[in-house]
Structure 1
Amino acid sequence: MTNLTNYHSHCLYCDGRANMEDFIRFAISEGFTSYGISSHAPLPFSTAWTMEWDRMEDYLSEFFRLKKKYADKIELAIGLEIDYLNEDSNPASSRFRELPLDYRIGSVHMLYSPEGKIVDIDTPAAHFRELVDAHFDGDLDFVVRLYYKNLLHMVELGGFDIVGHADKMHYNASCYRPGLLDEPWYDALVRDYFAAIARHGYIVEINTKAYHELGTFYPNERYFNFLKDLGIRVQVNSDAHYPERINNARPEGLAALKKAGFTSVVEWHGGKWEDRGIL
């Protein structure tokens, strides 16, 4: 297998299921050339799936220890997956900018309901339906528009390198209302969002985490040709929470990119992002 890299990866510092070294050792055993750790960044409140600020120093120290230990076997990079929550908590926040990271992933997992309650919409489809009905009075259009509004604001604020699972809501929203993805207003929202990403020059990951279970990439494969036309640079990441899933659906992701006309992906080599041909 070729283009063996992964930069979206969660270990025990957040909601991953193994320690950082286990992921790195597994990547080496699989022949990966570079690998990145990107734990969920701290939020202004505690959750079961994000890191706490008091663990940040340990997170960074452990990474730099492992980077030195395995320097002759694999190139490692350290990052964070940082949520856009609001104007005060997002990837552009100074506290995140000051950290000695190689890269940052910008993502949206949560929305504020009309009553001001924080709702995690990154859930299984059945629970997503319950949340929309309970907290947004079943107004799916409002939820979708709010999601893309937040994504666009995150893009404008900046502070990150990679857009995480760019349109992750598309699966849950289309389960809630089949045919949504073909509705013109929805398509326009997504295209405006990708156009903004292109203007700012961010990398878009092809997130393969759910491909084998749900049959979809994030972003949806229907937009791969559009990403290519916009000149957006891409990479394939598995969003792994278990070491054995670091290579999940990589061949399928690379094949889909080639079908859309992509000839290269972005990889971390020599301490920087480089375009490498899809082999």
Structure 2
Amino acid sequence: MVRTENLTNYHSHSLYCDGRANMEDFVRFALSGGFTSYGFSSHAPLPFSTAWTMEWDSMDDYLAEFRRLKARYAGQIELYIGLEIDYLNEESNPSIARFRELPLDYCIGSVHLLYNDKGEVVDIDVSADKFRTIVNKEFGGDLMRVVHLYYERLMRMVELGGFDIVGHADKMHYNAAAYRPGLLDEPWYDALMQDYFNAIARKGYIVEVNTKAWLDLGTFYPNERYFPMLLEKGIRVQVNSDSHYPERINNGRLQALAALQASGYHTVTERYNNEWKDMPLIINT
């Protein structure tokens, strides 16, 4: 199997959560696109039901279907199984034993949810317009507080561990900057990001460059402005599409690789032979 062009992806959703196709459809698209390494990362179960996460009673089927696909496509593509696990609270996060005991190849740690003043769970992974409404309705219009709550949860997730990859590391940035233009240039926000990436660097996690929003919003997560900061801190990176549709698994990959290269990166982290390896960053347009 020739490994070229960094044709890999480890953030992918299927019908087991909020993806729009079965796992085998993603494998077929990956093969047709020349991918050499591909991983599944369904949204892990939460303590309550949602429209976008797995249920625990689907876990055995999820793992069994992966084993079937891994055997069927052996020699054609390296397949890996993971979960995208939310930090919700101290009882539900990537570090808890129930997740650690699963036979997974890797995990992604993410934050999609906050608690409002009433202790109610609020989904802040929404459009910019919905985000504005949520900030005003649930948090009294205090954007700075929402941003701090978000990064406090991410920092706690980083501290507790139980995952390999930081998912869409600063996904808050787009909606927050839409709510308050110029936010990313404010000194307090830059200091927050410095502390956040310092914590990631100390723990040695991989940061994905998430390309899901590239075609629609023209941004990566983390924001491209932070790529030099990541490099300076010695943080390993990889490019993932966070795709919910098979035909989108390659979206934004070349643009992300080019942006990383322009920032000084020469390698990206990929999984081969069940190990994370730093592979040369290669761009063939």
- Cα distance in 2, alignment partners of residues 205 and 250 from structure 1: 12
**Residue 108 (structure 1) aligned to one of 106, 111, 122:** 111
Matches within 5 A, 1:40-59: 40-59=43-62
- Name stretches of at least 5 consecutive residues in structure 2 with no aligned partner: none
Deviation per residue, 1:212-265 (Å, 9 max, x gap): 111110000101000000000000000000000000110000000000100000
Task: Report the counterpart of residue 84 of structure 2 in structure 1.
Answer: 81
Where in structure 1 do 4 or more consecutive aligned residues deviate above 4 Å? none
**Residue 231 (structure 1) aligned to one of 230, 234, 240:** 234
- Cα distance in 1, alignment partners of residues 198 and 218 from structure 2: 25
Q: Which amino acid aligns with 1:258?
A: Q
1:247 aligns with 2:250: yes
Deviation per residue, 1:100-147 (Å, 9 max, x gap): 000000000000001101000000000000011110001000000000
- Cα distance in 2, alignment partners of residues 16 and 230 from structure 1: 34
1:4 aligns with 2:7: yes
Deviation per residue, 1:40-66 (Å, 9 max, x gap): 000000000000000000000000110
Task: Report the counterpart of residue 19 of structure 2 in structure 1.
Answer: 16
- Cα distance in 1, alignment partners of residues 194 and 59 from structure 2: 36
Q: Superposition RMSD on alpha carbons, in Å? A: 0.6
Task: Report the counterpart of residue 176 of structure 2 in structure 1.
Answer: 173
TM value normalised by structure 1: 0.99
- Cα distance in 2, alignment partners of residues 251 and 31 from structure 1: 14
1:189 aligns with 2:192: yes
1:147 aligns with 2:128: no
- Cα distance in 2, alignment partners of residues 186 and 116 from structure 1: 26
Q: Which amino acid aligns with 1:235?
A: Q
- Name stretches of at least 5 consecutive residues in structure 1 with no aligned partner: none
Alpha-carbon shift at residue 271 of structure 1 (Å): 1.1
- Cα distance in 1, alignment partners of residues 133 and 210 from structure 2: 25
- Cα distance in 1, alignment partners of residues 13 and 145 from structure 2: 31
**Residue 225 (structure 2) aligned to one of 219, 222, 230:** 222
**Residue 205 (structure 2) aligned to one of 195, 202, 206:** 202
- Cα distance in 2, alignment partners of residues 191 and 206 from structure 1: 17
- Cα distance in 1, alignment partners of residues 187 and 5 from structure 2: 38
Deviation per residue, 1:76-97 (Å, 9 max, x gap): 0000000000111000011000
- Cα distance in 2, alignment partners of residues 66 and 80 from structure 1: 17
- Cα distance in 2, alignment partners of residues 22 and 136 from structure 1: 41
Q: Which amino acid aligns with 1:211?
A: W
**Residue 279 (structure 2) aligned to one of 255, 276, 279:** 276
- Cα distance in 2, alignment partners of residues 193 and 256 from structure 1: 21
Task: Report the counterpart of residue 214 of structure 2 in structure 1.
Answer: 211
- Cα distance in 2, alignment partners of residues 278 and 116 from structure 1: 45
SS at match of 2:59: helix
**Residue 70 (structure 1) aligned to one of 73, 79, 83:** 73
Alpha-carbon shift at residue 2 of structure 1 (Å): 1.1
Q: Which amino acid aligns with 1:130?
A: T
SS at match of 1:267: strand
Task: Tell me the number of residue pairs that the alignment of Structure 1 and Structure 2 aligns.
Answer: 279
Deviation per residue, 1:177-235 (Å, 9 max, x gap): 00111111011111100000000000000000001111110000101000000000000
- Cα distance in 1, alignment partners of residues 145 and 16 from structure 2: 34
Q: Which amino acid aligns with 1:38?
A: S
